[in-house]
Structure 1
Amino acid sequence: MPIFYPDILDQKTAPRTFTYGDKDVMLYALGVGMGRDPMNETELPFVYEKGLKVIPTAATVLASAGGRPARGADLVEQKPGHRASVINFLMVVHGEQKVELHKPLPTSGTFTAQGRTVGAFDKGKDKGAVIINETVWTDEAGEKVATLTGSTFARGDGGFGGPSDGQPEPHEIPSRKADLSVDIETREDQALLYRLNGDRNPLHSDPESAKRSGFPRPILHGLCTYGITCRAVLQAITGYDPDQILSHQARFSAPVFPGDTITVDLWKDANVISFEARVAARGATVIKNGKTVLRS
């Protein structure tokens, strides 16, 4: 089905209640490489229920609705006369991701998530479209807990007649040399572990599927790389205190292969941390325009 503009801007997902617990929190931390050294007492609280801490970017997986576009079965009724838009999900690429925490994530709880489309930009019939979606979590008291904003590049859905300009500008990285850098090794089996958080796309597990997509072997989930950049901020800036992080956002620019060593370059300016991530061995920048905001 095509994109109908401006009708798509009225699309919402039906509210969905979900519950997560300590097992989900620890699985996510293991998925982004925490706890590799079981004697590392600074990382242990993220993977052990004693004094458990939650990595802020876990919000991207703790509710499967987090940050993903509205799909047909999820849509609430459209306004009278409006038509539902459903993009070609076989032709999409995750462009950007942001998690904003209105309060620190608890180690367990029951929440309601509702998503909506907040932007649709037409790059041209043969150039695709950019769709921006927002998902808001509320707790049982009705208070906001998290807002997840994600952009999707829909390669097969351009030419629908929407605006081509007006997308949010990416965060600008400082021109000076990075203030510090963190090297984080990924494991050869990391994608097989991370996929247990919910994203079982065979691109990340099946060699044949990866080859059909143009890769020599399965690639790491982009949201896993995103979580690793948050892990770098926790390690290098906050002393492993996740409650200091108000928001974390980044743009995906190249794939990571399990086993790669990711170098996260960081710049600190007051409560704003800018970052980019690269795989030096391949000369590839895998995350661009990263920005973490710390609580004042």
Structure 2
Amino acid sequence: MNAGEWAGRSLGERTVDYAERDAILYALAVGAKAAQLDLVFEERLRVLPTFALTLAQWAPDALGSAGAFDTRTAVHGAQRLEVLRPLPRSGELAMKARVRDVWDKGSAAIFDVEVESDCFVAAWSIYAPGAGGFGGDRGPSAPRRASEPARVTVNVPTGENQAALYRLLGDRHHMHVDPVAARAAGQPRPFLHGLCTLAAVLFPIAAGAGAHPADLRRLTGRFAGPVFPGDVVAVAIHPGEAATGFEASIGDRPVLTGGEVSFQ
């Protein structure tokens, strides 16, 4: 079947359980500090909303396992998250998933995978080289980069072991730890998960907005380039009335574009 035939297909339902330990490990993996007790200490724990994306990783993985695209070369293109209610400290989370759309970019296809639960709605955009050319709609264009200078720029360091740590939370694609798999995906060495970078930059953005990172309500962002463990990511923040825009780069090379976030 061609890529376009996957549009609208159900990916099934799944109930995932997790413990407080998992939520704490996630917070540490994306950059929480030991002094942030309400993120790393079970007695005061608030679960970061982006933790939900690790619990729902089964959905895009299921699509790849079903043969929709080549899992060795497909990459995560963009992410959306809408928070409906706070995640419990531990317990079970029932989810259902579907392929919402498939866009034809000519040399590649983009699969939009949507996951719904009582706590959130999330969507992955998976860029799949070689899967395009089936005669479908090209879909929406990438958002333009902000034309005005950022009001604030903050540097976010990443750890040498961060990708190896983050993959223990569910996204165990080999390209994030194995040099051979990374080269097959077109990168010179293992690189950080896009969702890890996206979650890491939320800490300074929340601080600038006077919000707690667990107060996240909506988040969007596109992955424009790889982040390698040990890189320092420069986050350009554009505060707005309804939402805060952001972009991230390493030197002159963009790694996150079209970012937008809002808090409670």
Q: TM-score, normalised by structure 2?
A: 0.91
CA 1:110–1:238 in 2, change beyond 3 Å: closer, same or farther?
farther
CA 1:106–1:187 in 2, change beyond 3 Å: closer, same or farther?
same
- Residues 185-231 of structure 1 deviation map (CA, whole Å, 9 limit, x = unaligned): 11111111111111222221123333444433221111111111222
The residue that corresponds to 1:47 in the other structure is: 40
Q: State the one-letter code of the partner of 1:57.
A: T
- Residues 209-263 of structure 1 deviation map (CA, whole Å, 9 limit, x = unaligned): 33444433221111111111222322322443522x2111100001011111111
The question of 1:116 aligning with 2:98 is answered yes
Give the whole-Å Cα distance in 1 for the aligned partners of 2:77 and 2:185: 17
Give identity over the alignment, percent: 34
- Residues 170-190 of structure 1 deviation map (CA, whole Å, 9 limit, x = unaligned): 455542221212211111111
The question of 1:248 aligning with 2:219 is answered yes
Give the whole-Å Cα distance in 2 for the aligned partners of 1:103 and 1:67: 23
CA 1:241–1:91 in 2, change beyond 3 Å: closer, same or farther?
closer
The question of 1:284 aligning with 2:264 is answered no
Q: State the one-letter code of the partner of 2:129.
A: R
Note if contact 2:198-2:221 (Cα within 8 Å) is conserved in structure 1: yes
CA 1:122–1:214 in 2, change beyond 3 Å: closer, same or farther?
closer
Of 136, 161, 165, which aligns to 1:193? 165
Give the whole-Å Cα distance in 1 for the aligned partners of 2:145 and 2:209: 17
Indicate the RMSD between aligned Cα atoms, in angstroms.
2.1
The residue that corresponds to 2:121 in the other structure is: 147
Alignment of 1:217-256 (within 5 A): 217-243=189-215, 245-256=216-227
- Residues 39-80 of structure 1 deviation map (CA, whole Å, 9 limit, x = unaligned): x3xx2321121211222211110233355563566xxxxxxx
Alignment of 1:174-185 (within 5 A): 174-185=146-157
Give the whole-Å Cα distance in 2 for the aligned partners of 1:22 and 1:238: 26
Q: State the one-letter code of the partner of 1:195.
A: R
Alignment of 1:210-221 (within 5 A): 210-221=182-193
> Secondary structure of the equivalent of 1:13?
strand
> Secondary structure of the equivalent of 1:235?
helix
Give the whole-Å Cα distance in 1 for the aligned partners of 2:111 and 2:19: 31
Unaligned runs of 5+ in 1: 74-84, 138-143
**Where in structure 1 do 4 or more consecutive aligned residues deviate above 6 Å?**
none
- Residues 19-57 of structure 1 deviation map (CA, whole Å, 9 limit, x = unaligned): 12211111111111212xx3x3xx232112121122221
Considering only CA atoms, is the larger Rg found in Structure 1 or Structure 2?
Answer: 1
The residue that corresponds to 1:25 in the other structure is: 23
The residue that corresponds to 1:141 in the other structure is: none
Q: TM-score, normalised by structure 1?
A: 0.82
The residue that corresponds to 1:134 in the other structure is: 114
Of 57, 60, 71, which aligns to 2:50? 57
Note if contact 1:67-1:97 (Cα within 8 Å) is conserved in structure 2: no
> Secondary structure of the equivalent of 1:89?
coil
Give the whole-Å Cα distance in 2 for the aligned partners of 1:258 and 1:241: 22
The residue that corresponds to 1:163 in the other structure is: 137
- Residues 99-152 of structure 1 deviation map (CA, whole Å, 9 limit, x = unaligned): 11011222222121111111111122xx11111111001xxxxxx210011111
> Secondary structure of the equivalent of 2:125?
strand
CA 1:292–1:129 in 2, change beyond 3 Å: closer, same or farther?
same
CA 1:262–1:220 in 2, change beyond 3 Å: closer, same or farther?
same
State the shift of 1:13 in Å.
Answer: 1.4
Q: State the one-letter code of the partner of 2:205.
A: V
Q: State the one-letter code of the partner of 2:27.
A: A
